[in-house]
Structure 1
Amino acid sequence: MSASPRLGVGLVGNGMAARVFHAPYIAACTGLDLRAVVSRRAEAELPLPGLARVPDIVDLLDDPAIDLVVIATPSATHAQLAQQALDAGKHVVVDKPFTLDLASAQDLVARAKRANRVVTAFHNRRGDADFLAIEAAIAAGEIGRVVHFESHFDRFRPKVRERWREDGSEGSGVWFDLGPHLVDQALCLFGAPEAVSADIAALREGGRSDDYAHVTLHYPQLRAILHAGMCVAGGEPRFRVHGTGGSLLKNGIDPQEAQSVAGMRPGDPDWGRDPEPLVRFDGEGARHETPLPRGCQERFYEDVAAACRGEKPVAVSGEDIVLVQAVIEAARTASRTGQRVALAEVLEEAGRK
């Protein structure tokens, strides 16, 4: 049997996300061929050698050899660029946040369905080693029924940096940056919550965009707390999960981002290996340690390639995208109003627009 043809990929954006995540992960996928990068700065180094540089997305969309377009640009541009790519007949991957509002996300999902094209969000952290271990432990019932879940993305960056993610522009801030990962992982585990409450704020001196987010997803017999802070020296545990039969604890962040920054690539011997174990406390308080499975964020693109070839549905589905965006929006509303926001009301309101 002959191998499936490799799909041509064009990458829009040449920043950190392109260099650290998209380009190396696409290169590791046997079904994809990264051919060109949209980069307006002629002097900027491209993420991989041998790539074509094009100055504008229009040049990319006119190329019949490009089957899949990856949007890795500032958040406020995602919706427009993804629409252009879909309208040009391309499959599309959009980095998080997928869009800045629920209505735009719903529109893109509907456009892709009408065009019979794949559109998906880059939720690569479904392949984090610690999340895979937590997911497996919960599914196996190792701590009984979960009643309390905490997921943290904390950093120590007390000084505001000069970059678009922190400059107060549309789409900046920690909730748009890290919130989609936190939300997507929680929804993978527990499904859609009934309601959302939130406190999202700028707490650092001179902060122009939010750098603190504390969001609670309300389920009938579960609370899922999603937290991101920029003034956490030493870090909080990445996960705390408490159930009727025990607790799970995981310290430290998944290493794949840091490994990629250091030049390691998928397939290297230590790629995705997290030295921190998953700790379980049983009902008697005894401590048990379990090594983590190997992280595999790069598998996101293997899945996308298979979906573009029509071999299986894409893992991060349109329904997943819309639910994540609804929670992101509900949290922003809840923080602004100080009220708990029912998720059904957010979805109904978007449907009326």
Structure 2
Amino acid sequence: MAIQAGIIGYGLSGSVFHAPILRSVPDYNVHTVVSSDPDKVRKDLPDVAVAGSVEELLSAEIDVVIITSPNETHYEYTRLGIEAGKHVVVEKPFAVTSAEADQLIDLARQKGVLLTVYHNRRWDNDFLTVRNLLETGALGKLSIYQSQLSRYCPEVKSKDWREQEVPGSGILYDLGSHLIDQALFLFGLPNTLWADLNVERQGAKTYDYFHLVLGYTTFRVILHSGSLVRQAGPRFELHGDKGSFLKYGTDPQEGQLKQGMYPGDAGWGEDQPDLYGELATELSGLAVQGEIETLPGRYQAFYQRLAESILKGGSLPVQPEEARDVIRMIEYAVQSHEEGRTIKIT
């Protein structure tokens, strides 16, 4: 029997990143969507019920609630979903504060339901390739891991809540959540964190630039994002005592979803050959340089893993404690910037 899913919110996240992926995984049926634009939902999902409120959705016969509404609603809607006895998926970032995240983790444990966070960029094609490359040891002892995800958005979008002065808005919660999660997934918690935050654009009401340095015992992780980057540098840049790896471009899955593609379609998650990363390393004492074919991206893996968790008791695709630690790093970054110092992670 299919897992009955309900989606709260049908903006970019709900309509692009969740509904199409859910419909591509046979274990799920999208049962109900909460939206202020029912016509949009019915156009995309004519066989799905549209609810006018979260309470109406939670009273339906659904197994899992997927929360894709604005960040400041994540805590309350997650709490309601857990209290209703539903499994819950929260779009990243998990919550606005780590204290809220801890409360939700405790509540889910008490109610015996599953709670996870949609850190889908763990399944970006470039990140999967970097992870695989690190496991091979081709770079030797790592010295620098640098990850950049920038945009060119010179005009502030006045109608976008992400650009407004509200809890959980700004680029640190948006793109920063992705980059921090990837780094913690690879390396665990750092020893220290230093942050520089800025408001780059005229009229911007929240941070639209960040530069973070995460200190580990023998290497550094640099995470960067800006809003005035017309021509971006490498998406990933890694250096070790044996070699270096540079990767340009970004994962194609978001663009493919916007074009109406689904997982399983020809070319899904695949990179263009001219965007393959460049590896320079040493092999048996010889200098070697060449392209590394990018592994295919697979956002569908998140919901496949979640289905195994619900139906068979398998491990969650993202542990809620991992997502909570991302929020902790955001809080430390704000503290570091405001106090002008390096923070020791405890």
Q: Give TM-score, length-normalised by structure 1.
A: 0.93
SS of structure 2 residue aligned to 1:133? helix
CA offsets, 1:232-252, max 9 Å, x none? 112121000111110111000
What is the letter of the counterpart of residue 282 of structure 1? Answer: T
How much does 1:43 deviate?
4.2
- Which residue of 2 is the match for residue 177 of structure 1? 174
Give the alignment of 1:100-249 within 5 angstroms.
Answer: 100-162=96-158, 163-249=160-246
Query: Contact 2:123–2:297 (CA<8 Å) still a contact in 1?
Result: yes
CA contact (8 A) 2:214 2:222 kept: yes
Instruction: Pick one of 22, 36, 39 that aligns with 2:32.
Output: 36
1:279 maps to: 278
Q: Return the alpha-carbon distance in structure 1 between the equivalents of residues 329 and 46 of structure 2.
A: 39
Partner of 1:351: none
Q: Which moved more, 1:154-163 or 1:87-96?
A: 154-163
Percent same amino acid among aligned pairs?
36
Q: Unaligned stretches of 5+ in structure 1?
A: 345-353
Q: Match of 1:188, as an amino acid?
A: F
Q: 1:21-76 deviations in whole A, cap 9, x for unaligned?
A: 0101111111111111001334444443321100001011111x200000000001
Conserved in 2, the CA contact under 8 Å of 1:152 and 1:227?
A: yes
Q: How many residues align?
A: 339
**What is the CA distance between 1:151 and its match in structure 2?**
0.6
Q: What is the deviation of 1:319?
A: 2.4
What is the rounded CA distance, in whole Å, between the counterparts of 1:94 and 1:205 in structure 2?
32
For 1:169, give the aligned amino acid. Answer: V
In the alignment, the residues of structure 1 paired with residue 328 and residue 312 of structure 2 have an alpha-carbon distance, to the nearest angstrom, of 28
CA distance in 1: counterparts of 2:105 and 2:241, whole angstroms: 38
Alignment of 1:278-317 (within 5 A): 278-283=277-282, 286-317=288-319
**Offset, 1:337:** 1.3
Asked whether the equivalents of residues 72 and 95 of structure 1 are also in contact (C-alpha less than 8 Å), the reply is yes
Structure 2 unaligned runs (5+)?
none
Find runs of 4+ consecutive structure 1 residues off by over 3 angstroms.
41-47, 283-286
Cα RMSD of the aligned pairs, angstroms, is 1.3
**1:348 corresponding residue in structure 2:** none
Cα separation, 2, equivalents of 1:179 and 1:233: 19
The 1:49–1:146 alpha-carbon spacing in structure 2 relative to 1, beyond 3 Å, is farther
Moved more, 43-52 or 116-125: 43-52
Answer with 128-137 or 156-165: which moved more: 156-165
CA–CA distance in structure 2, aligned partners of residues 267 and 48 of structure 1? 19
Contact 2:94 2:117 (C-alpha < 8 Å) held by counterparts: yes
